[in-house]
């Protein structure tokens, strides 16, 4: 049995230790926000936070998450309040098909967690998730907007 | 089983209106369809196929086609709401059921989201449905009040009697309205009176997406469900010869190995186990003699199409090109090539199906629920009315999920072999990349004759390319022409007296299909680059040269001028930066692009600015048009710079995103969208954007380097993104 905490809830799962975290989340724990895109950590559709760090869960064995905290898109809103990044994503109409967006949002939240005022270059470096619909211009705008919101709420 | 997803505005999200929970039944209104479900358990009343009203004044507008990011699930209902005169903040959008469409004789018309046609093909009947419902609501209120309907009007979900100022909400009269005979002829609003059309409205599916609640085909889940991973014959056209699954026999979670004609499925209790086990199944393939095919042999095959004398089809013949070439002051000739491309939707192909008691339930990300339903029925051998294709959002479509339906055929075949158990099949990215219906490769020879002042007097194109219509749709070609293969040549807008467009249909073994923008993803690139060559040969500015030739094409002319103006065409640029321009019609809209680029001596390309113009006639949801244009830029530039599917040993060489590169955020250039709507028509929006971008960038590269880009992608010309 492997124990892990997902969005604040403890789970123990009886699976092979090498089973990727993504598939444990999706097929065992029914957490469907993280998506499968490539299986080789290229696209980032499966991005979740492991102890606050963004990871590509398709390429992280569940054993690496044992006893640790996993945060997915489903756990981002707090007490019914959307995260400022989610809010900005709605305000700027970022998603098109939306399939990559839970990964995009988790990457953006992680970036803003480390860097409250990211420059365009910082966004370029951190946001390597692929979006086939091409929503990048709006992702950039929304990250800057969320940074502003975070600044004003913290100040 | 019900799988209705509902979207709702306002503070509360409520699940409601399961379509199976119909009571009342016999009342048919609005359009003629028998067996309609009229009144729902919650008192909601169906006024017609598109409009359902609840006693609490919630307005449910049905949406029939698919949502894959193009935004039509919001903009199509806007057209209904515009005429209905309802309060948009109380509108909920609900998918129409594919099964109900069968039973109600296609009450919602074409349900496919393909060809950028949702708005342009449905706008009339959607607006009419809204207007018809509005007139019935007004008539019901007038009857209640005993006043003439002509004294009443509707606005924001209320009917008002002008003289007495009495008011009643839609919800209060919906039941009575539904019992009235629908008016035969309703008058649609004058565009100047539109309140909703033309305003940027928030897309209704976005909140669910950002909360991780959006449900795609891959997310569908049923109790007792098992999972399937499949391996298809890597060589197109091949079959399974033998299967040895002994190595996985006692492996944890493995339920069954099912060999089918062209693929092998492993069934397990989760997908990862199925996929991992599949790697240890030894499969021998019969490659049907195709294992020697390569990109080089395909090129040779296409090249033969440039010179073949027999079996040609003519897409356009005007004047006498041969005579004109003889008399021309200058003759230019060039050969252009565009490669096969994969769709690479972010969500790989998949299908959840349950075959049980002669019925089939399917959940799949499809651009055509009707095609999916028909495919499921045929595969399971059941009547159409015994199938439901439950509605989900698509993780990208781009044409991949429309015509082929291979994923439904497989999903249902596997579920049939596991009768009574729901099976969710999912492809790996590698299967997805290597078993697509690819954008056709196309080789084109062009020839043009110029008179002494540089004006074109003759244009000749020979297109050597596969036919999607003949091979994927298996439909006969009218006069031997696949319209997509010759698109933008056959209907080229320039005033040239002598034109001949020939098509040599050449079908290699690589399956081809509709890839976003289809023929217009490649032909305008070739046409507009060649026009640029003519302008250079004539010693003229490429913008002025086009302007002078577009006298009979006012729409192209208009969007070209608007785009050039916005881009500041002709104004000085800083040293090393150069412009390119292009214009074309596509999907009933008109687009133009101006690119500003620089190329350093190592071949590093910088796209400083892209100005994209579109005239789609009427604009329904402006911000969504901008989003589609921005997305089109990324899609087009990805194809331009890296896009290439190559063949070796009869199979696709690329397998995943490491060798089929998609553009990333840091690589997207600045994109400015110029809206130049001229009104009076309804053009497409999802696909036209790409068409002008590729030639505009290539023409700018020529201006910067003096080098013509006559084949794609750019990476094969030593050009990389800086």
The domain spanning residue B103 has which CATH number?
3.30.365.10
- B532 within some domain: yes
pLDDT computed for residue B43 by the predictor: 87
Among A32, A93, A97, beta carbon nearest to B202: A93
Q: Which of B484, B531, B515, B514 minimizes the C-alpha distance to B643?
A: B515
Partner residue opposite B206 with nearest CB, options A20, A39, A95: A95
Q: Are residues B202 and B267 in the same domain?
A: no
**Exposed, middle or buried, B637 (CB in 10 Å: 0-12/13-18/19+)?**
buried
Q: What pLDDT is attached to residue B39?
A: 56
Q: Which of B213, B272, B396 sits opposite A132 (nearest CB)?
A: B396
Looking at the fold, whether B176 and B309 belong to one and the same domain comes out as: no
Across the interface, whether the CB atoms of A93 and B393 are under 8 A apart is answered no
Of B429, B404, B370, B327, residue with least CA distance to B112? B370
CB of A55 closer than 8 Å to CB of A48: yes
CB contact under 8 A, A96 and B71: yes
In terms of residue numbers, what domain contains B37?
A: 6-210
Q: Which candidate in A20, A28, A134, A145 is best for mutational testing of the B interface (most B CBs within 10 A)?
A: A134
The CATH 1.10.150.120 portion of chain A extends over 84-154
Q: Do A94 and B270 touch (CB under 8 A)?
A: no
Same domain (yes/no): B413, B527: no
Dihedral sign for Cα atoms in the order B93, B84, B684, B471: positive
- Check residue B201 and give left, alpha or beta (phi > 0: left; psi -120 to 50: alpha): beta
Place of tokens 């997509």: B484
- Give the pLDDT confidence of A35-76 residue by residue, as tens digits: 999 999 999 999 999 999 999 999 999 999 999 999 999 999
Instruction: Tell me the helix, strand and coil percentages in chain B, rounded to 5.
Output: 30, 25, 40
* Domain match, B407 and B463 both: no
Domain A84-154 -> CATH class: mainly alpha
Confidence (pLDDT) at A87: 98
Q: B29 - beta bridge partners?
A: none
Same domain for B268 and B311, yes or no, is no
A98/B209 Cβ within 8 A: yes
Domain closes at, from B373, B392, B426: B426
Chain A nearest C-alpha distance from B669 (Å): 9
Q: What is the C-alpha separation between B486 and B498, in angstroms, rounded? A: 17
Alpha carbon distance B434, B236 (integer Å): 9
Q: Which residues on neighbouring strands pair with residue B463, listed in sequence order?
A: B444, B503
Of the residues B375, B392, B426, the one at which a domain ends: B426
Taking only the tens place, the pLDDT of each residue in B235-264 is 999 999 999 999 999 999 999 999 999 999
Instruction: Judge if B602 and B460 occupy the same domain.
Output: yes
Ranges under pLDDT 50 in chain B: 1-38
The predicted-structure confidence for B340-368, as pLDDT tens digits, reads as follows: 999 999 999 999 999 999 999 999 999 99
Find the angle CA(A30)-CA(B100)-CA(B34) to the nearest 5 degrees.
160
Q: Which residues of A touch B352 (CB under 8 A)?
A: none
Mean pLDDT in residue range A18-33? 98
Class of domain A2-75: alpha beta
pLDDT of residue B31: 32
Residues B224 and B198 in one domain: no
Q: Which of B13, B203, B211 to mutate to test the interface with A (most CBs of A within 10 A)?
A: B211
pLDDT for position B22: 29
- Do A90 and B202 make contact, defined as CB atoms within 8 angstroms? yes
Give tens-digit pLDDT for B436-453. 999 999 999 999 999 999
Chain B contact set for A125 (CB, 8 A): 666
> Which pLDDT belongs to residue B12?
29
**DSSP states along A42-109:** SS-TTEEEETTEEEEGGGSBGGGGTTSEEE-GGG-SBTTBPPHHHHHHHHTT--SS-TTHHHHHHHHH
Task: Indicate the residue of A38, A73, A136 with minimum beta-carbon distance to B634.
Answer: A136
Q: What SS3 class is residue B353?
A: strand
What does the buried/exposed string (b/e) look like for A74-107 if buried means 16 or more CB atoms within 10 Å of the residue's CB? bbbeeeeebbbbbbbbbbbbbbbbbbbbbbbbbb
Distance CA B64, CA A55 (A): 38
Alpha-carbon gap: A152 to the closest alpha carbon of chain B (Å): 22
B407 in the same domain as B485: no
pLDDT of A155 above 90? no
Per-residue model confidence (pLDDT) at position B409: 98
ipTM of model:
0.98
The overall pTM is greater than 0.90: yes
What residues in A contact B345, CB-CB < 8 Å?
97, 99, 132
User: Pick from A32, A40, A102: which is nearest to B656 by CB?
Assistant: A40
Please indicate, yes or no, whether residues B317 and B390 belong to a single structural domain of this protein.
no
Q: Which residues on A lie below 8 Å from B666 (Cβ)?
A: 124-125, 127-128
Q: Of chain B residues 259-298, which have a CB less than 8 A from chain A?
A: 270-273
Same domain as B578, residue B501: yes
Contacts of B187 (CB under 8 A, 6+ apart): B131
Q: What is the CA radius of gyration of chain A?
A: 15
Q: How far apart are CA A45 and CA B209, in angstroms?
A: 13
Reported as type and span, the H/E element at residue B612 is strand B604-615
B416 and B518 in a single domain? The answer is no
| The pLDDT value given to residue B40 | 65
CB contact under 8 A, A45 and B346: yes
Distances (CA, A) of B474 to B47, B355, B377, B471, B519: 39, 28, 19, 5, 18
Pairing of strands B152-155, B226-232: unpaired
Residue B432 domain-assigned (yes or no): no
Last-in-domain residue among B176, B210, B244: B210
Cross-chain Cβ contact B347/A28 below 8 Å = no
Q: Tell me, yes or no, whether B159 and B66 share the same domain.
A: yes
Residue B431 lies in a domain: no
As for how many domains chain B has, the answer is 3
Q: What are phi and psi of B218, to 5 degrees?
A: -65, -20
Q: For residues B149 and B155, is the Cβ–Cβ distance under 8 A? A: no
- B38 lies in some domain: yes
């Amino acid at each position: 049995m492997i124990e892990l905490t997902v969005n604040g809830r403890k789970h123990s799962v009886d699976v092979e230790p090498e089973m990727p975290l993504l598939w444990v989340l999706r097929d065992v724990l029914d957490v469907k926000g993280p998506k499968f895109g490539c299986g080789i950590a290229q696209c980032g559709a499966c991005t979740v936070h492991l102890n606050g760090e963004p990871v590509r869960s398709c390429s992280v064995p569940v054993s690496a998450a044992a006893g640790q905290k996993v945060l997915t898109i489903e756990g981002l809103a707090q007490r019914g309040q959307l995260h400022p990044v989610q809010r900005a994503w709605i305000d700027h109409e970022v998603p098109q098909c939306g399939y990559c967006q839970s990964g995009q949002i988790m990457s953006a939240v992680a970036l803003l967690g480390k860097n409250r005022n990211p420059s365009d270059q910082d966004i370029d470096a951190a946001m390597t998730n692929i979006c086939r619909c091409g929503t990048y211009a709006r992702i950039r705008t929304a990250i800057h907007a969320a940074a502003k919101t975070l600044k004003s709420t913290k100040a | 089983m019900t799988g209705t997803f509902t979207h709702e505005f306002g503070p509360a999200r409520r699940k409601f209106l399961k379509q199976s929970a119909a009571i009342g039944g016999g009342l048919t209104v609005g359009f003629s369809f028998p067996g309609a479900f009229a009144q729902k358990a919650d008192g909601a009343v169906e006024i017609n196929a598109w409009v359902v009203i609840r006693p609490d004044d919630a307005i449910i507008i049905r949406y029939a086609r698919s949502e894959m990011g193009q935004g039509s699930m919001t903009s199509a209902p806007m057209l209904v709401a515009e005429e209905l005169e309802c309060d948009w903040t109380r509108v909920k959008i609900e998918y129409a059921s594919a099964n109900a469409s069968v039973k109600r004789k296609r009450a919602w018309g074409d349900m496919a989201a393909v060809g950028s046609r949702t708005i342009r093909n449905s706008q009339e009947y959607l607006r009419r449905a809204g207007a018809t419902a509005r007139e019935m609501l007004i008539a019901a209120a007038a009857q209640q009040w005993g006043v003439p309907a002509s004294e009443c009007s509707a606005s924001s979900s209320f009917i008002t009697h002008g003289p007495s100022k009495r008011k009643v909400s839609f919800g209060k009269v919906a039941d009575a309205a539904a019992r009235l005979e629908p008016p035969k002829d309703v008058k649609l609003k004058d565009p100047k009176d539109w309140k909703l059309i033309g305003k940027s409205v928030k897309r209704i599916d976005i909140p669910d997406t950002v909360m991780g609640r959006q449900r795609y085909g891959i997310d569908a889940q049923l109790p007792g469900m098992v999972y399937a991973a499949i391996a298809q014959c890597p060589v197109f056209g091949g079959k399974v010869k033998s299967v040895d699954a002994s190595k996985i026999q006692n492996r944890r979670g493995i339920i069954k190995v099912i060999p089918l004609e062209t693929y092998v499925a492993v069934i397990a209790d989760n997908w990862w186990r199925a996929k991992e086990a599949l790697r240890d199944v030894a499969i021998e393939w019969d490659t049907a003699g195709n294992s020697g095919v390569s990109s080089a042999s395909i090129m040779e095959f296409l090249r033969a199409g440039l010179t073949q004398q027999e079996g040609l089809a003519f897409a356009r013949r005007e004047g006498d090109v041969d005579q004109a070439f003889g008399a021309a002051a200058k003759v230019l000739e060039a050969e252009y090539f565009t490669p096969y491309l994969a769709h690479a939707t972010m969500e790989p192909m998949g299908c959840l199906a349950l075959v049980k008691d002669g019925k089939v339930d399917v959940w799949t990300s499809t651009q055509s629920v009707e095609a999916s339903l028909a495919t499921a029925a045929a595969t399971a051998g059941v009547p159409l009315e015994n199938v439901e294709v439950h509605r989900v959002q698509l993780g990208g479509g781009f044409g991949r999920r429309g015509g082929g339906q291979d994923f439904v055929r497989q999903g249902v075949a596997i579920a049939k072999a596991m009768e009574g158990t729901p099976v969710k099949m999912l492809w790996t990215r590698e299967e997805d990349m290597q078993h697509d219906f690819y954008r056709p490769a196309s080789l084109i020879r062009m020839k043009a004759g110029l008179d002494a002042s540089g004006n074109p007097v003759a244009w000749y194109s020979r297109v050597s390319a596969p036919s999607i219509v003949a091979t994927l749709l298996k439909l006969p070609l009218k006069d031997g022409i696949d319209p997509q293969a010759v698109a933008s040549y056959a209907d080229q807008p320039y005033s040239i007296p002598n034109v001949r467009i020939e098509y040599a249909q050449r079908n290699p073994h690589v399956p081809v299909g509709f890839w976003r923008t289809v023929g217009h993803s490649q032909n305008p690139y070739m046409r507009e680059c060649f026009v640029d060559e003519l302008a250079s040969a004539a010693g003229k500015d490429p913008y002025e040269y086009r302007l002078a030739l577009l006298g009979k094409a006012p729409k192209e002319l208009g969007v070209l001028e608007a785009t050039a103006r916005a881009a500041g065409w002709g104004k000085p640029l800083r040293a090393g930066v150069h412009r390119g321009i292009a214009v074309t019609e596509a999907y009933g809209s008109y687009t133009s692009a101006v690119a500003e680029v620089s190329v350093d001596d190592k071949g590093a390309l910088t796209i400083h600015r892209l100005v994209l113009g579109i005239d789609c006639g009427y604009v329904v949801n402006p911000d969504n048009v901008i989003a589609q244009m921005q997305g089109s830029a990324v899609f087009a530039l990805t194809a331009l710079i890296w896009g290439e599917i190559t063949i070796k040993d009869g199979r696709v060489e690329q397998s995943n995103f490491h060798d089929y590169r998609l553009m990333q955020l840091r690589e997207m250039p600045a994109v400015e969208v110029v809206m130049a709507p001229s009104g009076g028509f309804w053009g497409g929006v999802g696909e036209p954007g790409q068409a002008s971008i590729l030639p505009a960038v290539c023409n700018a590269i020529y201006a910067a380097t003096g080098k013509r880009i006559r084949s794609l992608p750019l990476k094969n010309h030593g050009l990389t993104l800086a």
